[in-house]
Amino acid sequence: MNEGIAFAGTIAVDEIKKIEKYPNKSELTTIRSISRSNGGAVSNCAITLAKMDHSLPIEIIALLGDDDKGHFLKDKLGNYKNIDMSHVKVIGDTPFTDVIQDENDHTRTFFTYRGNSSLFDEKMIELEKLNSKILHIAYILLLESLDQEDLEFGTKMAKVLKQAQDLGIKTSIDIVSENSNRYETLVPPALKYTNYCVINELEAGKSVGISLRDSSGALIISKIKRTLFKLKQLGVKDWVVIHTPEGSFGYDGSITYSIPSLLLDRHWIKGTVGAGDAYVTGVLYGALKGLDLPDSMKLGTAAAASSLSAEDSTSGVRSYERLVNMYKEFPKREPIEL
């Protein structure tokens, strides 16, 4: 019987540089510290899940280079006995991302070298060899080969998701945040064959042509429910979730939910690089274990908050039991009425 979760797609090394303040063009700023960590959805989600539950089977499907960064990721993932790396192939250069963290406002900016990610296509995911109950593929807009057009399904990504569902595997997607108009072309075909769509407000809005923040950056609450409905109408089978710093919002096809985020002391937040992947992982773990949508969203919220306590993407993540208690015990923001 299939169990556990498989993570496929983007993997990278994060070269984290903490800076005094993000500069304007042609200006200088000071780098305060430099560190290295796992990055990309595959390693972030897999390690987060392994820390949440050290006994749960986890499969990763990715490409690593035979280089310093590839060896670093292999060693890092190898620390967790329940992560199966038998689907990993070695080819080309390992992708990496320079993560620039602004000490002043805690924002992050990414400069990515895609490396071998352009070689990750549908042939890399051997679905019949998977033993997982859920397949999470990320990120749409960053996996060039899977974003290519497919005459029958719209995109190669959509084709893989459909094939997975046909084999009884539940599917999940994530999207990279970028300033482009590609969302409405590349995302809807995949949503048609997605069970769990867990994305942030920028990605959600751009995917359906609705802006969820105004010119001042404030969340436009009145448009959230419509965005959830439109994403569900595009074909998402089970859950649609939009996560934001202010709170997260979910729709299971019958009820919409608003889950407040945790109120964190500013000294708690060391970095924001893995929070989105941690949130997704918490929701998927909840789905796997039979939790309802609101409890899964609470788990995702706690996982994201725990991730914020470390500069890298996964060092701050706690076990499932601790995350459940963390959501119960920490102060929360005022709930947002939809």
Q: How confident is the model over 228-237, as pLDDT tens digits?
A: 999 999 999 9
pLDDT greater than 70 at residue 262: yes
CA separation for the pair 99, 34 (Å, rounded): 10
The fraction of the chain above a pLDDT of 90, given in percent, is: 89
The confidence score (pLDDT) of residue 103 equals: 87
CA separation for the pair 187, 165 (Å, rounded): 17
pLDDT greater than 90 at residue 127: yes
pTM of the model: 0.93
CA separation for the pair 292, 270 (Å, rounded): 31
Quick check: bond before 279 cis, omega within 30? Answer: no
Of 198 and 109, the one with more pLDDT: 198
pLDDT greater than 80 at residue 278: yes
What mean pLDDT comes out for the span 91-103?
A: 92
The per-residue pLDDT for range 100-116, each reduced to its tens digit, is 989 888 787 889 899 99
Contacts of 193 (CB under 8 A, 6+ apart): 153, 158, 161, 162, 164, 165, 171, 235
Token digits of residue 307: 């991730």
Contact 207, 184 (CB under 8 A): yes
Band the pLDDT of 1: cuts 50, 70, 90.
Answer: low
Contact 153, 42 (CB under 8 A): no
What does the chain come to in residues?
Answer: 338
CA separation for the pair 101, 116 (Å, rounded): 25
DSSP for residue 237: -
Token digits of residue 50: 């392994």
Token digits of residue 65: 């280079």
The confidence score (pLDDT) of residue 110 equals: 82
Token digits of residue 245: 């710093």
The fraction of the chain above a pLDDT of 70, given in percent, is: 100
Mean pLDDT of the chain: 95
pLDDT greater than 90 at residue 266: no
What mean pLDDT comes out for the span 248-262?
A: 98
The confidence score (pLDDT) of residue 187 equals: 98
CA separation for the pair 292, 21 (Å, rounded): 42
Q: Could you give the count of Cα atoms lying within 13 Å of 23 in the half-sphere of its Cβ?
A: 9
CA separation for the pair 101, 317 (Å, rounded): 19
What mean pLDDT comes out for the span 306-323?
A: 92
CA separation for the pair 279, 199 (Å, rounded): 9
Structural Rg of the chain based on CA atoms: 19
CA separation for the pair 174, 231 (Å, rounded): 13
Backbone angles phi, psi at 32, to 5 degrees: -85, -35
The confidence score (pLDDT) of residue 270 equals: 83
The per-residue pLDDT for range 137-180, each reduced to its tens digit, is 999 999 999 999 999 999 999 999 999 999 999 999 999 998 88
Q: What CATH topology corresponds to 5-329?
A: UDP-N-acetylmuramoyl-L-alanine:D-glutamate ligase (3.40.1190)
Contact 337, 264 (CB under 8 A): no
